[in-house]
Structure 1
Amino acid sequence: MNTFESLWISCKDGYQLAAQYYPTEKSTKEFPILICPATGITKNFYHAFAEWLNQQGYNVLSFDFRGIGQSLHGKLKDSNASINDWGQLDIPAAIEVLLNRTQSEKVIIIGHSAGGQLLGINPHYNKVAKVLAIAGSTGHVKGLKGKTKLLAPLMFNVIFPVSSFIKGYGATQFIGMGENLPKNVAKQWAEFCSKPGYVMNAIGKTIFDDYHQEIQIPITSFWATDDEIATETNVQDLLRLYPNAQTKFIELNPHKYGYKQIGHMAMFKKSHHKLWPLLEKELAI
């Protein structure tokens, strides 16, 4: 028996996003959960976590950003998807669908990496009750550590430009960084991470609606001490973008919870389910 319903989300510009809705027979929670994925990661990666949240009484919706997974229509090299689109069109459309399904007034966003970084350009920010930013940071290259600090400049300055020119997309799959990316996503990812502030680097250039100052809701950021991307420096860099929000910063040491590593990705894996109640505790408004 399927625990979810497959559906399509229609964005303001008509683009169709593939989604999975996990309904409860009778929700015991005030707000439903919208899971917003990391760059190049599909909704299927969050399936076990979504099921678990569902069992706790939450209605849950997960989806693929345009150009990723089942939300890629046609050939990747022909995709014009951008990170701007993800924040300004995709997430707002997903919010609308979840609100319509649940008849709720607001949603809670659990955003993984990029999925937790785009609230400030989301025109439906006032329909969000709270954000849990999991491994959410600006990803600024100077704030990275470990092997990623060495890999990122190579990926941004060599792999992305070369693969975009030759193949028409940003090659990430062969280095274990999720699905290959639409060329505009790859280009923006490199640009956004080249300076502090991530998406703020596009304000006034390709993004002209900035809501960071207006946001006053609680934003809780979870980061693992062994995460080479969402380091303490980069997590703090993200939280500073919301000067009027109620920000909270939660550090997770993998050894404290019996894990060898958590890193940037493992928090949503079934093997790390012992961490999930820590996340759920922060869902309370």
Structure 2
Amino acid sequence: MSTCENIQIECKDRYILSGQFYSSQKNTNHKYPILICPATGITKGFYHSFAQWLSEQGYNVLSFDFRGIGDSLHGRIQDSKASIVQWGQLDIPAAIETLLAKTKSSKVIILGHSAGGQLLGITPNYEKVAKVVAVAGSTGHIKGLKGRTKILAPIMFKGIFPLARFTLGYGPTNMIGMGENLPRDVAKQWAQFCSKPGYILNAIGNSVNITDNFHEKITTPITAIWASDDEIATEENVKDLLRLYPNSQTNLIRLNPQTYNHKAIGHMLMFKRSHQNLWSIIENELNINE
């Protein structure tokens, strides 16, 4: 049974993130370590079982909490200045450099869950990423949503978040079963980015300088893995994400729950022990040897 090492990740602006490093449990020829970038409001602990399993398959793995979330929230959430743009421009780059230093590797593979797989286009050290595997990664465009989420998202984005910004001082996602509560600017940007196609592309020229838009420069291969019953990462929204990288080789893998004897997979269940029979599908996309 593998154990993890608690580590600190220092960002360019000196902000400290909380991370967990899982060292490879056997000798393999896996060339690159794995960086698990979490979904919005989801802590590193959610990925513990999966990260531990990856280490048992011979991978070095680093998971972490984005600023303002979990153990990377310092002080009151009402006082947090964290934003999604900072996650892409500061947190992911620092995590990449920390993992490279820890493993002496030349590149990392990003395993991004939802938002964690949607931010490479504003990550300045993108050239140090050998591949992105985006699990339930999409633009989350509100018009491309399905089911109950298509009804609830506008209420959250246009009603709950704006009201809570001035009353609570944060986005109350925990009370509606959507992970940790969000710093106010994370909640605000989430709503803004999902209001139009393109997600983070909507920040370019506003909270992101035009010169910091790397989407068209990126040639890193990207694989998107999503479930047919995912109400957020629908096929329409997954394809909307991949179009942002015109010079990358992209691959789409759609999973049907019934094919793997599950009632549901949705947006969150792929990393659960109950769905461990899906892990080899993800791992197959991580196992590259250049």
Q: Deviations over 1:163-207 (max 9, x none)?
A: 111010011111111111000000000000000000000001110
1:233 pairs with one of 233, 236, 244: 236
Deviation at 1:78, TM superposition (A): 0.2
Give the letter aligned to residue 65 of structure 2.
Answer: D
Counterparts of residues 1-285 of structure 1 (less than 5 Å): 3-24=3-24, 27-28=27-28, 29-208=30-209, 209-285=212-288
Consecutive unaligned residues in structure 1, runs of 5 or more: none
CA distance in 2, matches of 1:72, 1:132: 26
Give the letter aligned to residue 88 of structure 2.
Answer: G
- Whether the aligned pair in 1 keeps the contact of 2:6 and 2:21 (CA below 8 Å) is yes
Q: Deviations over 1:135-185 (max 9, x none)?
A: 000000000000000000000011101111101001111111111100000
TM-score, normalising length: structure 1: 0.99
Identity of aligned residues (%): 67
Deviation at 1:283, TM superposition (A): 1.3
- Whether the aligned pair in 1 keeps the contact of 2:4 and 2:22 (CA below 8 Å) is yes
SS at match of 1:229: coil
Give the letter aligned to residue 278 of structure 2.
Answer: L
TM-score, normalising length: structure 2: 0.97
Q: Deviations over 1:2-23 (max 9, x none)?
A: 6100011000000000000001
Give the letter aligned to residue 233 of structure 2.
Answer: A
Give the letter aligned to residue 64 of structure 2.
Answer: F
Q: Deviations over 1:88-137 (max 9, x none)?
A: 00000000000000000000000000000000000010000000000000
Consecutive unaligned residues in structure 2, runs of 5 or more: none
Q: Which moved more, 1:23-32 or 1:170-179?
A: 23-32
Give the letter aligned to residue 5 of structure 2.
Answer: E
CA distance in 2, matches of 1:278, 1:236: 20
Q: Deviations over 1:36-85 (max 9, x none)?
A: 00000000000000000000000000000000000000000000000000
- Whether the aligned pair in 2 keeps the contact of 1:138 and 1:238 (CA below 8 Å) is yes
Give the letter aligned to residue 42 of structure 1.
Answer: T
- Whether the aligned pair in 1 keeps the contact of 2:26 and 2:57 (CA below 8 Å) is no
SS at match of 1:212: coil
Moved over 6 A (4+): none
Deviation at 1:284, TM superposition (A): 2.8
Give the letter aligned to residue 221 of structure 1.
Answer: A
